Amino acid sequence: MKEVKNLFKSILLVLLVISVTNCSDDSSSNPEVNYTKLNEAFSSAQQIDNLTSLVVFHKDTIIKEAFYGTGGADVRQSVRSVTKSVMSILIGIAIDKGFLTSVDQTLGEFIDTSIYTITPEKSAIKISHLLSMTGGFEWNELTASGYNDWALADNQVQYLLDKPLIAEPGQLFTYNSAGTHLLSYIITKVSGMSTYEFSLQYLFNPIDIEEVDWYIDKQGYCNGGAGLIFTPHDMIRIGQLVLNQGVYNGKSIIPSDYINNSVLSKISTGNTMNFASGYGYCWWLGQKEEVNYIFANGYGGQFIVIVPSLELIVVATNNLTGVTASVANEQWYRTLDLIINSMISAFN
């Protein structure tokens, strides 16, 4: 695996550079797109200080894209919790390839008890619970330091297994990066490959992603909660795979029934997250008026937003270098608000 070091080192900001391709202001060239609204949204995007990319894919092509500051179509950057949605896809592939039998398999089938300690109650937690954020663990990540406390712990697997259960698995939505990290551990255990190697062979290379970077934990497992480093065009390819129900350029990568099931709501988010009322298997789900959308969601404004009925994908990334939590939250909100409330309407 290509090691990534000092991701958050200081980077001198460069002059704003915007690259636009495959875009026409003539609505007659594509009457399904209101280019006036779309261009207005791109103009508004320039007011989001740390935005690095904004890419719009409609039907079978990128119709407009822009890159800002240090961003670029082939510039890799941390996509944080977008990683979780990729982990969901990898679990589906692992089932299809026979490494796993179903999402009903339990933690007790995979945890090596010669290395880790796990109670019978936690052994009964299913893969589906980890995918839907309903494992039942005591956890506070969205409003407190849960992620950082876990990331800085001596052992990322045992740290979660030591947490008490506060709910019956499957009953309570609690956003938990450590839970999706266990999915990475499971893939490594059943395949004999690192999650990085597994993903290159069965997902990334087949969809024309030749190289990625992926952070590892202190035991050498790929961070399944927030470790991927992608380009914006890599993110578009992931979106295409979901939009096309597991098929990429005519090749079946993952069964359509798994993809379709993964984007069905498994539990209400309980107003935990703006713009999302439900959660599937590591996909956020929402609705604007009569339009349903799905999105992968990363800290600080990293998004893959998919609108199946409009055959639309919107990808956005934001810079996180030297950014405070309050600024990260602001740019997250402004970027997703722009996509949901301004960009989608250009296709209605």
**Strands (E) located in 145-189:** none
Predicted confidence at residue 8, as pLDDT, reads 31
Q: Closest Cα partner for 159 from 83, 218, 227, 103?
A: 218
Chain centroid to CA 170: 21
How long is the chain? 348
The model's pLDDT over 185-214, given as tens digits with 9 standing for 90+, comes to: 999 999 999 999 999 999 999 999 999 999
- For the beta carbon of residue 287, count every other beta carbon within 10 angstroms: 13
Please compute the mean of the pLDDT values over residues 314-338 and round it to a whole number. Answer: 97
Say yes or no to pLDDT of 19 above 80.
no
- pLDDT for the residue numbered 31: 77
Question: Would you give the DSSP letter of residue 161?
Answer: H
The 10s digit of each residue's pLDDT in 109-130 is 999 999 999 999 999 999 999 9
The whole-model pTM stands at: 0.92
Tokens of 270: 């309980």
pLDDT tens track for 202-257: 999 999 999 999 999 999 999 999 999 999 999 999 999 999 999 999 999 999 99
Residue 75 has pLDDT above 70, yes or no: yes
**What distance in Å separates the CA atoms of residue 79 and residue 50, rounded to the nearest whole number?**
14
Distances (CA, A) of 174 to 56, 279, 297, 311: 31, 11, 15, 31
Comparing C-alpha atoms, which of 144, 171, 146, 172 is closest to residue 160? Answer: 146
Provide, for the chain, the percentages of residues in helix, strand and coil under a 3-state DSSP scheme, each rounded to the nearest 5: 35, 20, 45
The pLDDT assigned to 29 comes to: 61
